[in-house]
Amino acid sequence: MSKRQQPVRIDPTNLPRRLREGLMEADQLLEKKNPVKAQKILQELAKDFPHREEVLGLLTNACMDTNDRRGYLQAIRELHSLRPNKPEYTLGLAEGYLSNGYFFLALQCFERFMNRWPSFPDMDEIRARVNIVREGSNTFLNELQLEESEAIEFARKHDELRVCLDTGQFQRGKSLAREMLQVKPDFAPTRNNLSQIYWLEGENNKAIETCRAVLAADPDNIHALSNIIRLYYLSGQKEETPEFIKRLKESKVDAAEHWKKIAEVLSFIGDDQGMLELKAMAQEETEPYELDEYFHHYAAVSEAMLGREKEARKDWNQALKLQPGFSPAQENLDDLDLPKHERNGPWAHSLGEMIPEKIARELTSVVERAAKNKNEDKFQPAVRRFIDTRPEILQLASLILERGEKGAKEFVITVADISGHEKLLAVLKEFAFGQAGSDEMRMQAAQILSKHNAAPSGTVKLWLEGEWREIMLLGFEITPEPTFEIPLKPRALQLYTQAIEALREENWALAEKCLREALVLQPEVPSLLNNLALALSMQGKKEEGDALLKHISQDFPDYFFGQMSLARLSIHEKDYEKADAILRHWMETKKKFHFSEYNIFCKTWIDLLIAEDKLKEAFSWFEMLEQSEPDDPDLEYYKQHLELIQKIESIRDIPSRRKKQKKKE
């Protein structure tokens, strides 16, 4: 790559605060030799503040420091489009093309630079380098068997087609491919790149047809073999792949990226043992420098999947030596450093490498359009119909949950939830009750299954913190949407608000006074009666309070908080069977809980389970409460209470453990 770009002068008075602070932080990180972190900050800034010369200038320097050739080219291309008359950017673009192997675009850019700025410093050195590149490119031009000018134009289009593939300019790419095939119909790289564009646009059949055309003329073409395996796998035609996988593994073609292309496919289809065998073969038959960062990344994923974490770390670190800014290796290493139950990896491919971005965009559009109808009866069927037209989503869901990155797993879980698609829920069930992914994500999947009646509500066993543990599945949704009851008149609402504040301050007498006045204005409102029952009980007026609770439960059976008060009263009276029946009724029938309802529901379950000496189940409900309400002031009380009971239980167990020990002796 070229020399570092001169930092663009930043005018702090005319920049948004977040942009200014981000640029300053990134600049300081670059000065402190921490380009990886600087690059991440600048990439985020480039998304939020596009086409800013200040951001792109620093980003090119960060990419140079991390040896991120592709990232550098993307940044310098945009810089050059903003300031095409700046010689440093034109030279930087030429160097970017050269370092990424786009030799003919690099030559074109160098020639433009030399003609326009002939007195630029170090011009003799630049000309010498250009001559070396020209000589090196002659072999490719000769192989085209075209007239010199036609061969050079064809080679430039070949480079531009590859750039279009990398940057998502698919329409331009297809147009270039058609032009090139008119000149050289048998040029396999054109068709290989075209098949990739077809796949990225979601046109699998066209992509497969294009690969077959290449293999008909060149049966050992390593790129076409790799592409067609992945395409058949994506479209659910796995039965078509064995023949091509065998040919790919046995291929001895001395082509660029030979080992990488085989490794890419093996990692994609999950052949971990085959990947390790390939690695051993590659190390025996090639020089170390011939294996790039992607090869080491794919090998590391397979090693980690097989439990060989030490070897996986070595390969990911080797990938980072070859490409210091190589995010797949760094992200997998960061994931590997987490406790086992928090890990989401390992993963070889991103969501975009598994499901084309176009399909993800189309799905988002379908969801948004369906959501506008505000009709749940139409929403889910619309999403399900779309999924049925895109077999890629169904075919890859299982692979993504087993071997995908965190974002890809979240994508599948979300789509399964919003669609309720039977096949996706079946895949989600395998994931939830398996051992892949983090505990948190599998618990989320399990709760979604329960919500869609694809798994039973109640106690189930999940793999948590390295062991099978019982947890409670809830077949309902927790929502911020308020639950409505009888609306209060303005004065009654004012008194109710004063009463709630008095209850918070434990001023029970004032709360009682306000609630009685509100009930005169608006009698038989369950929320007023329920809070009055609480105020009375806290003042020792238990009989009157209990009578009110029974009145609420009998005359307002659909009032949730009243039913919870009755359940707690039943626990106090040691009628655990009645409390259990009340709680289970609501767990089975109520499909949506407001946050406040869920809060009291969890606490009532905890109280009942503690009273029944069911410590494990009580801890499960405590963990669910802690997840939903981490700042709840009652959490510390419940935690201390449960831990105290646990200690008492362990002391009680000492005699029985001693007896068992004596028997062994």
User: What are the pLDDT digits (tens) for 152-208?
Assistant: 999 999 999 999 988 888 999 999 999 999 999 989 999 999 999 998 888 888 999
> What percent of the chain is modeled with pLDDT above 90?
34
Residue 458 has pLDDT above 70, yes or no: no
pLDDT digits (tens, 9 = 90+) for 344-363: 989 998 888 888 777 877 87
Which residue range(s) make up the domain with 436?
357-475
pLDDT, mean of residues 291-317: 94
Q: What is the DSSP string of 267-303?
A: HHHT-HHHHHHHHHHHHHHS-GGGS-HHHHHHHHHHH
Domain-ending residue, one of 142, 160, 185: 185
Report CA 376 to chain centroid distance, whole Å.
26
Nearest-CA neighbor of 417 among 427, 404, 407, 405? Answer: 427
For residue 183, the model assigns a pLDDT of 94
Same domain, 549 and 593: no
**Same domain? 463 vs 384:** yes
Q: What is the CATH number of the domain that holds 534?
A: 1.25.40.10
Domain boundary among 185, 205, 231: 185
Question: Reduced to 3 states, what is the DSSP secondary structure of residue 15?
Answer: coil
Q: Which amino acid is at 479?
A: T
- Say how far apart CA 45 and CA 17 lie, in whole Å: 12
- Per-residue pLDDT tens digits for 198-249: 988 888 889 999 999 999 999 989 999 999 998 888 777 888 889 998 888 8
265 falls within a domain: no
Question: Is residue 300 in a domain?
Answer: no
Say if residue 550 is in the same domain as residue 623. no
Q: What is the pLDDT of residue 6?
A: 54
Q: How confident is the model at residue 7 (pLDDT cuts 50, 70, 90)?
A: low
CA distances from 394 to 26, 218, 370 (A): 41, 32, 20
**Of 262, 195, 263, 275, the residue nearest 235 (C-alpha):** 195
Same domain, 362 and 442: yes
Q: pLDDT (tens digit, 9 = 90+) per residue, 538-594?
A: 888 888 888 888 888 788 888 888 888 888 888 988 999 999 998 888 877 777 777
Domain co-membership, 465 together with 493? no
Residue 365 sits in the same domain as residue 453: yes
107 and 82 housed in the same domain: no
- Report the half-sphere exposure of 507 (CA within 13 A, side-chain side): 11
Q: Tell me the percentage of the chain whose pLDDT exceeds 70.
A: 91
- My answer on whether 367 and 402 are in the same domain is yes
Task: Tell me what pLDDT residue 45 has.
Answer: 92
* pLDDT of res. 1: 56
Number of domains forming the structure of the chain = 5
475 pLDDT more than 80:
no
Average model confidence (pLDDT) for the chain?
85
The predicted pLDDT at position 622 comes to 83
Residues 421 and 469 in one domain: yes
Interatomic CA distance for residues 579 and 622, integer angstroms: 18
In this structure, the answer to whether residues 363 and 457 fall within a common structural domain is: yes
Distance in angstroms (rounded) separating the CA atoms of residues 279 and 277: 5
pLDDT attached to residue 657: 46
Q: What is the mean pLDDT of residues 49-60?
A: 92
Is residue 654 scored above 50 in pLDDT?
no
Residue found by looking up tokens 């990226």 in the block = 257
CA angle 113, 115, 118 (to 5 degrees): 85
Backbone phi, psi, residue 458, to 5°: 115, -160
The pTM for the full model equals: 0.70
pLDDT of residue 440: 85
The torsion of the CA quartet 317, 323, 325, 330, rounded to 10 degrees, works out to -20
- Select from 283, 282, 274 the least CA-distant residue to 303: 274
